[in-house]
Amino acid sequence: MSKFPEETLEQENALSDSEIPAAADPQQETDSIQETAPVQEPDSVLGTEPEQDTESSQDSTPAQDAETPQDAEPVQDAELPQDTEPAQDAEPQDKFLAIKSALRSKESEQQQEEMRISVADKIQRMKEAKDNPDEQPYERSAQPVVESDAPADVPPEASERPRKTMKKKANSAKKAKKSRKTVKKRKRSGPDLFPKRGDSAFEVIRKCIFLMSCTVFMVCLFLIGKYYWENYQNAEVLKEFEKQYDPDRKEPERETEPKVEGFEYYGYLPSVEQLLEKNPEIIGFLSIPDSKVNYPVLQHKVPEDGNEYYLKRNYLLEHENAGSIFMDYRDYFDFVVDGRKQFENSDNLIIYGHNMHDYSMFGGLKRYINEANYYDEHPIIYLNSNYRKYQYKIFGMIIVDIEDETETKFDYWNTIDFGDEQQFYDYVNEIKRRTVRLTDVDVKYGDQLVTLSTCNSTFTEGRLVVFGRLLREGEDLMEGCTSQPNPNIKWPNSYYKWRKKTYNPDAEFIPYG
C-alpha cells in the first residue's frame, strides 16, 4: 500500500488540531480538499474501490448517503501504513469521509429538488395541454440536469425562485383558461350589447350610445324604405291610368246632341268617360314630354278643403303620401254641363303638386332651376281638359317665400283673374324680375296663364313656381323657346339673410307689353 506524502500529512495534522464542526460550509471544505495533493486511500480503510463508491452514491437513496462514518466498522479494522502511527492517521481519515459524505448528501438533495421541480412542470404542462387541445401540443422539457462536483451554498432566495416561477405560470394559465371560458360563454350567449351589472360607467354610456345610434339608423332606414315603397306603389297606380288614358285614340263617330246656336258643343275626348267612372273629379291630364310629369289633374271644388283634399290622396281616393296633381278649387277649366261650357276658363290656372325626391309628381320642376339646358329641351307644357287639348310655352321659373311680408312679397297664388291690362302686366313683369332664366317667349295681355307650384327647401315655406302662357292660334310651337341666365334676380328678403344682396332695382329691365 502507498503512503501519504509528507505535505499531505502535515495538512491533515493541521486539520486535526482545529475543531471542524459538523455543519461546516461545504464550499470551504471542498476548497481545502482541492488544495491538498491527491491521496490514494488503502482498500482496508475505504472498504471498497473508489469507482464503486461513486456509483453507489448516485444510485443510493438520500438516507443511505447521509450515513456518517461512525456507523461504518472498517475504520477500526483497517490496516494502516507501516510508516504512520494508527492513532494519528485514523482521525484525518474520519474527517475526510465525513466531508465527502456531507457533500454527497448535499448534492443528492439538490438533485431531488430539481427532479421535483421538473416533475411538477411536466404535470402542469400536461394539464394545460389537456385543457387547451387547440393550442400547441405538450412538449417534453429537454433541459438536462447539470451536476456540479462542487455545489455552492444556495441562499434561501435562490431556492424560492423556481417556486415563484411555477406560481406565475400557474396563475397565467388560470387567467388564460378563464379568458377562454369567457369568450366561449360570449359566443354561446351572443354579442354583449346591453348594459349589465358589473359594467363600468364608461361601458354603460358606450352601450347606450351604440343602442340609440342603432335605433335611429333603423328608424331612418324604415322611413326611407317606406318612402320609396309608397312612391313605387303610386307609380304603379298611375301607370294603370296612363294605359287607359288615350285622348288620340280613334273612336267611331256617334250621335251628339244638336248644336245650339251661339254655343260650342264640348264632347269628351276618347277614353275619358271610363276614367270619370272611377273618379268624377278628374278634370284633365298634364304632361311635359321626356319627363316624369305625366299625371291626371283633379279638382275638389269645395272651399273648406278644396286645396288640401288631394294632398294625401291619389286619383282613386286611396291614401297616398305623394298625393295627386290638383288644380286650385277657385279656377274654372272647361267646366261643362251637358256639352255646354258654363264658364270661361280662368286667366291663371294654378296647379299644385308635391316635390318628391325621386323626381316624381312635381319633383322634376327643380331641374328648370338647377340645370342650364333643361328649359331649352323642355319648354312646352301639355294640358288637356276632358274636352280639349292645350299647349303652353314656359316663360318664367321663380322661387318665392310665401311667408314674406316685406316689399319683396309676391302672392302669386291669389291671382286667379286679372281685372285689367295693368294688373296683368304688373303680374307677368314681376315674374320676369324674379325668374332664374330669361326666355325669348313674349307675353301679351289676354294670354291665358298656367302656373305649376310645388314646395322648395330654399326657405322654410319656399315655393318653386313655373309659369307658361297659352299657345296662340297659328303660332309656332318652339318659337322663342331659348333662355339665358338672369343677371339681376329679385329674390325674397329672407334669401339675403345669409347671402349678399345682389338685386339692383335701377338696373336695365325690358318689361312685357
155 and 285 housed in the same domain: no
> What pLDDT is stored for residue 135 in this prediction?
55
> What pLDDT is stored for residue 15 in this prediction?
41
List the grid coordinates of 126: 400536461
Domain final position from 177, 200, 235: 177
Gap between the terminal Cα atoms of the chain: 154
Average pLDDT, stretch 488-508?
Answer: 90
pLDDT digit string, tens, across residues 357-416: 889 999 999 999 999 999 999 999 999 999 999 999 999 999 999 999 999 999 999 999
Bridge-based pairing of strands 325-327 and 348-352 is: antiparallel
Query: Domain for residue 440, yes or no?
Result: yes
22 and 143 housed in the same domain: yes
Domain final position from 177, 212, 236: 177
> What pLDDT is stored for residue 23 in this prediction?
41
Average pLDDT, the chain: 78
Contacts of 289 (CB under 8 A, 6+ apart): 378, 380, 382
Q: What is the dihedral of CA 55, 56, 62, 63, to 10 degrees?
A: -170
Beta strands in 254-372, from DSSP E residues, in sequence order: 282-287, 294-298, 325-327, 336-337, 340-341, 348-352
437 and 304 housed in the same domain: yes
364, burial (CB in 10 Å: exposed 0-12, middle 13-18, buried 19+): buried
Sign of the alpha-carbon torsion through 231, 233, 236, 238:
negative
> What pLDDT is stored for residue 29 in this prediction?
43
List the grid coordinates of 374: 333643361
- Confidence label for 190 from pLDDT (cuts 50, 70 and 90): low
Does position 76 have pLDDT exceeding 60, yes or no? Answer: no
Domain encompassing residue 11 = 1-177
343 and 486 housed in the same domain: yes
Number of independent structural domains in the chain: 2
Does position 513 have pLDDT exceeding 90, yes or no? Answer: no
pLDDT digit string, tens, across residues 45-74: 333 344 444 343 344 333 344 344 344 444
Strand-pair partners of 391: 382
Distance (Å, rounded) from C-alpha 462 to C-alpha 280?
32
426 and 305 housed in the same domain: yes
Cβ atoms within 10 A of the Cβ of 267, count? Answer: 14
Query: Domain for residue 86, yes or no?
Result: yes
> What pLDDT is stored for residue 312 in this prediction?
93
Distance (Å, rounded) from C-alpha 241 to C-alpha 163?
90
DSSP 48-78: S-HHHHHHHHHHS-HHHHT--GGG-SHHHHP
171 and 292 housed in the same domain: no
Query: Domain for residue 400, yes or no?
Result: yes
Distance (Å, rounded) from C-alpha 496 to C-alpha 455?
19
Query: Domain for residue 503, yes or no?
Result: no
150 and 288 housed in the same domain: no
Query: Domain for residue 52, yes or no?
Result: yes
More confident residue, 278 or 239: 278
143 and 282 housed in the same domain: no
> What pLDDT is stored for residue 138 in this prediction?
46
Query: Domain for residue 458, yes or no?
Result: yes
**Whole-model pTM?**
0.61
Average pLDDT, stretch 163-192?
Answer: 69
Q: Are 297 and 282 in contact (CB under 8 A)?
A: yes
Q: Are 53 and 46 in contact (CB under 8 A)?
A: yes
pLDDT digit string, tens, across residues 123-147: 888 888 777 765 554 444 444 444 4
Distance (Å, rounded) from C-alpha 358 to C-alpha 355?
9
**Can you say how many angstroms the Cα of residue 72 is from the centroid of all Cα atoms in its chain?**
87
Looking up residue 406, the CATH number of its domain turns out to be 2.40.260.10
Instruction: Tell me the C-alpha to C-alpha distance, in Å, between residue 225 and each of 99, 218, 229, 234, 314.
Output: 95, 10, 6, 14, 20
> What pLDDT is stored for residue 71 in this prediction?
43
419 and 301 housed in the same domain: yes
Strand-pair partners of 351: 327, 452
Does position 8 have pLDDT exceeding 80, yes or no? Answer: no
Average pLDDT, stretch 417-443?
Answer: 96
CA-nearest of 426, 288, 419 to 347 is: 419
Query: Domain for residue 249, yes or no?
Result: no
Domain final position from 149, 177, 205: 177
pLDDT digit string, tens, across residues 255-305: 555 555 677 899 999 989 989 999 999 999 999 999 999 999 999 999 999
> What pLDDT is stored for residue 162 in this prediction?
65
Query: Domain for residue 223, yes or no?
Result: no
Matching residue, cell 291630364: 285
> What pLDDT is stored for residue 241 in this prediction?
85
